[in-house]
Amino acid sequence: MASNRKIAGIESAIYLLRGQRVMLDSDLAAIYRVTTKRLNEQLKRNRNRFPDDFAFQLTTEEFRNSKSQIATSSLMSQFVTSSGHGGRRKLPWAFTERGAIMLASVLNSDIAVQASIRVVRAFVRLRQMVAANAQLAAKLEELEHRLDSHDEAIVDLFAALKRLLEPPEPPKRREIGFHVRERTARYHAQSNKSKIKNRNSKIP
């Protein structure tokens, strides 16, 4: 039971970034019982072990757009408003499931190794939940075709259920840089009739 609670706690620290489920450096540091500074030092020393599908550093825009996801994370208390990054000098690193396992190996501690097992189980359970949602969506689709589609209440119910199963849309990125917007011309081309009329008026 206690193990399930720990796994559930880890699940709440898994976020969706760049189409991948990841954990942030500060959350993994808390789970592996090390400081975020030491964790990132080990990452820097063993950078060749962490390709892009293992770990990546968030951009400023990604962090700002992801605040709604990480509102409950320990990271939020470290990022305050004045300098844009608050108590941290650098943007956070995100680790995929593979990266979290590799991180435990480079930290080389029994606590990190044991904790990494719970991390993997949390990732696996999330994948199972996503798969279950996909199966449920398929069953809803099949059931919708069987039922009377002319019943407005049933149509609305299925639409609401589908919305609940859909993943949230990624935030729209604001265009960066200088853009020139052309103004619409204030003049209009003369019609052929008006041109002929003007010519005739000039003939003596």
Give pLDDT, residue 124: 76
Give the model confidence (pLDDT) of 60-74 as tens digits: 888 877 666 655 444
Query: Among the three residues 129, 149, 177, which one is the final residue of a domain in this structure?
Result: 129
- Asked whether residue 16 falls in the same domain as residue 109, the answer is yes
One domain, residues 153 and 107: no
Q: Does residue 180 lie within any of the structural domains?
A: no
Domain stops at, among 129, 151, 182: 129
Does residue 10 have a pLDDT over 90? no
Whether residue 148 sits in one domain with residue 50: no
Q: Are residues 9 and 110 both part of a single domain?
A: yes
- Flag whether 32 is in a domain: yes
**CB count in 10 Å sphere of residue 5:** 9
Mean pLDDT of 23-45: 92
The total of structural domains in the chain comes to: 2
Do 30 and 61 reside in the same domain of the chain? yes
In a domain, 185, yes or no: no
Structural domain boundaries, residue 74: 2-129
Q: 92 vs 152, which has greater pLDDT?
A: 92
Same domain, 72 and 158: no
43 and 76 together in one domain: yes
Mean pLDDT of the chain: 70
- Report the 10 Å Cβ neighbour count for 178: 5
pTM of the model: 0.54
3-class SS of residue 24: strand
Residues 6+ apart with CB under 8 A from 197: none
Considering the domain architecture, whether residues 139 and 118 belong to the same structural domain is answered as no
- Whether residues 137 and 120 fall in one domain: no
Angle between the N-to-C axes of helices 97-107 and 110-146, in degrees from 0 to 180, rounded to the nearest 10: 170
Is position 60 within any domain? yes
- Specify the higher pLDDT residue, 63 or 106: 106
124-181 pLDDT per residue, tens: 777 777 666 666 666 666 665 666 555 565 566 556 655 655 655 555 555 545 555 5
My answer on whether 56 and 143 are in the same domain is no
Domain stop point among 103, 129, 155: 129
* pLDDT class of 39 with cuts at 50, 70, 90: very high
DSSP 12: T
Does residue 189 register a pLDDT over 70? no
